[in-house]
Structure 1
Amino acid sequence: MATTQILQRSNTKVEEFARAIVEKEFVPNIIVNNAALINRNGKIWEVDAQEFDNVIDTNVKGIANIMRHFIPLMISKKQGIIINMSSISGRTAHALCSPYCASKWAVEGVSKAVAKEVPEGVAIVSLDPGIIYTDMLVSCLGHFAPQYQSPQHWASKAATMILNLTPLDNGASLAVEDPGTLPNLE
C-alpha cells in the first residue's frame, strides 16, 4: 500500500499533516483528494473482509480525513476547492469490483453532502478522472489496459480542467474530457 494511502487512512496522521501546513503558514487553494485502492477482481462473496475493509478505509475514510482537517483551513481563508477523485465506478456499477464501486459511490455522496455544508468561497467537487493506463487498471483489465490513455496524456487534460474550477462548481460531479469506456468484465 502506498505511503499516501496509509497517511490518508489515519485521521491522526492527516491532522498532524494539516498542523504542519498551518505552521508553515500555507493553506492550499486546491486539493486533489485522491485515495484509490481496488480489490482483486471477484464477486463480493469471494472478497475477504480485510480486503473489503482496506478498500473502504482508504477510499472513503481517506477522503473524509483530508476534508475534515483542510476544510476549516480553507474556511478561515474564505476560499479553496477540494476535488475528491471518484470514478466511473462511482456512477455506474461494474461486476467484479463491488467494494471499489461502493467506495466511489460513497465519495460521490459525501462530496455532494459536504458541498451543502461549506460556506461561499469554498467548493467540494467529485471528479471522474476517466480511464487511465495505470497499475490499478492493469489489475482490473489485464491485457486491455494499454489501450487507454497514459497518465501523462491524462494529466495535461486534467490539470487544465482543475485549474479552471471555481467556487461556482461546488457540488458538481465532473469528468475529465473523453473519459473512455470500460469493457464488460463478466
Structure 2
Amino acid sequence: MTTASFSRSNGAAKTVMVTGVSKGLGRALALELSKRGHTVIGCSRSQEKLNSLQSELAAPDRHLLLNVDVRSNSSVEELARLVMEKKVVPDIIVNSAGTINKNNRIWEVPAEEFDTVIDTNVKGVANVMRHFIPLMIPKRQGIIVNMSSGWGRSGAALVAPYCASKWAVEGLSRAVAKEMPDGFAVVALSPGVINTEMLQSCFGSSASVYQTPEAWSLKAATMILNLTAADNGASLTV
C-alpha cells in the first residue's frame, strides 16, 4: 500500500474519493477532478495503474491513491483508518468500481463469475458506505454517488448478473438515503452508454461509436460537484 505526500486544498475545492480509479470512468473522473483543483482519494486493486495515474494527476502530491479491494470489508476498513489518520475525510464519495460478466445466459455463467460481479458491484458499495458514512456524519454534510446503469433500471439478455447488481445498487441507494441525517445525499447515477472495457465486452467493436470516458467526465464532474442534500434518494443520469 503506497501513499503520496498529502496536503489539503483551500477555498471551494473538495476532497472526492473515487473507487475503481485505475481505469474507465473512475480514472477519467479522477483526472478531470484534479484538473479542476479538487483533491482525489482513489483506490484500486492495481498498484501499477495507480502509480501511472498518480503521475498524470494535476498537482500529484495533493492526492492519495491506495491499493484497496472494495470486495474486502477489511481492506475498505483499512482505507477508512488511513483516511482518518490523515484527516482527509471526503466531502464526496463516488463508488465507481465495477465489473461485468462475460456475455452468457444465466445458466451458463460460472458461479464464481456471478459472485465476482455481486461482490464488486454490490458488496463493494456497501463496504464503502459501512466504513465511510460514520466518518462523514460529524461533518454534517456529504454526498455519496453510487454508479448504477441503465441496466439497473431495465434488463438485458446475457448480462443478468450485471443487471441484478445494478438493480441492487438502485435499491441500496434509495434505502440508505432514507437513513441519512439532514445535509447528506445518497444518489444512484447512471453514466449512460460509454466506451469502456465493460461495454466492449458486451458490444464488441461497436462500442467505439459511443462517447469516451474522458468526454463523459467533463459532464459528470460538473454534475457530481453540484449535487446537494436536495438530491437525496434520486436516481440520476449524466
TM-score when normalising by structure 2: 0.72
Residues 18 and 70, structure 1, Cα contact 8 Å, conserved in 2? yes
Residues 74 and 122, structure 1, Cα contact 8 Å, conserved in 2? no
Unaligned runs of 5+ in 1: 177-186
CA distance in 1, matches of 2:95, 2:213: 17
Residues 152 and 163, structure 2, Cα contact 8 Å, conserved in 1? yes
Letter of the 2:227 partner, please give it: L
Cα distance, 1:116 vs structure 2: 0.2
Q: Does 1:3 align with 2:45?
A: yes
Show the counterpart of 1:67.
129
Unaligned runs of 5+ in 2: 1-19, 21-43, 47-66
Show the counterpart of 1:183.
none
Cα distance, 1:35 vs structure 2: 2.4
Letter of the 1:134 partner, please give it: T
- Percent identity reads 64
Show the counterpart of 1:83.
145
Map 1:1-186; keep pairs closer than 5 Å: 3=45, 7-176=69-238
Letter of the 2:124 partner, please give it: G
State the Cα RMSD in Å: 1.5
Aligned length: 176
CA distance in 1, matches of 2:143, 2:68: 23
- Residues 11-38 of structure 1: CA deviation (Å, up to 9, x unaligned): 0010110011011111110111112110
CA distance in 2, matches of 1:11, 1:167: 27
Show the counterpart of 2:16.
none
Residues 68 and 76, structure 2, Cα contact 8 Å, conserved in 1? no
CA distance in 2, matches of 1:124, 1:157: 19
Query: Which stretches of structure 1, 4 residues or longer, exceed 2 Å deviation after superposition?
Result: none
CA distance in 2, matches of 1:153, 1:101: 25
Cα distance, 1:6 vs structure 2: 6.0
CA distance in 1, matches of 2:231, 2:206: 34
CA distance in 2, matches of 1:160, 1:90: 23
- Residues 43-96 of structure 1: CA deviation (Å, up to 9, x unaligned): 000101110011001100000000001111111111110000000110010110
Letter of the 1:33 partner, please give it: N
CA distance in 1, matches of 2:183, 2:85: 23
CA distance in 2, matches of 1:25, 1:150: 34
Cα distance, 1:143 vs structure 2: 1.7
